[in-house]
Amino acid sequence: MFIFPIEEGLSLKLLEKRDVPELFALVDGSRPYLREWLPWVDNMKAEEDYEPVIDMWLKQYAEDNGFQAGILYEGKIVGMVGFHYIDQASKKTSIGYWLAEGYQGKGIMTKAVEVLVDYVFNTLHLNRVEIQCGTENRKSVAIPERLGFVKEGTIRDAEYLYDHYHDCYLYSMLKRDYKRM
């Protein structure tokens, strides 16, 4: 399967069904932490729950409508990053990401998102990339801010998380503002 190296010990990988046990164990081991910000965590109760999702991600990639990649750190899946969609008509996309709690603070996600931003502008030749993250999710907010995205505003009640809505910031970067990082 496709693996894209970022640097020594860090790469992105299109996930396959054989990755299901490792992905499930990662999410299951970080469930309380991930649940605070991700609305899908409670739906992923067993390994079998990931099989149709991986099929969906591979179909998304095959249809050239973005991709979802596992982040490999020292050979282990530690999180995911990808494009929610690719809007060719408007030349834009959005990036989503999550990282297991035990792997934060190492620059892993910043490097992964940085590579995707470069890919957006220099390979896909899009004009705009967005990142949306919870206003209270300080670690997630730090990524677009560190990479020079512009905070466009707050989306009120942007997402429902189990028993409450939460607000999200909307960040963007335009091709004309992009400088190779």
- Cα–Cα distance between 175 and 35 in angstroms, integer? 33
Angle, CA of 83, 170 and 34, to the nearest 5°: 65
Beta-carbon-side half-sphere exposure of residue 92 (alpha carbons within 13 Å): 10
Residues 24-76 pLDDT 10s = 999 999 999 998 888 898 889 999 999 999 999 999 999 999 999 999 999 99
User: What's residue 180's pLDDT?
Assistant: 58
User: What's residue 1's pLDDT?
Assistant: 64
- Cβ–Cβ under 8 Å, residues 67 and 14: yes
* CA trace torsion 10, 12, 17, 23 (10° rounding): 50
Residue 92: is its pLDDT beyond 80? yes
pTM: 0.93
pLDDT, averaged across the chain: 94
pLDDT confidence band for 181 (50 / 70 / 90): very low
Residues 104-157 pLDDT 10s = 999 999 999 999 999 999 999 999 999 999 999 999 999 999 999 999 999 999
What's the CATH number where 74 sits? Answer: 3.40.630.30
Closest CA to 74 of 5, 8, 19: 8
Judging by DSSP bridges, how do beta strands 128-134 and 92-99 pair with one another? parallel
Q: Count structural domains, the chain.
A: 1
Domain carrying residue 44 = 3-177
Give the rounded percent of residues in the chain with a pLDDT score beyond 70.
98
Q: Look-up: residue for tokens 């490999």? A: 72
Overall residue count recorded for the chain in this entry:
181
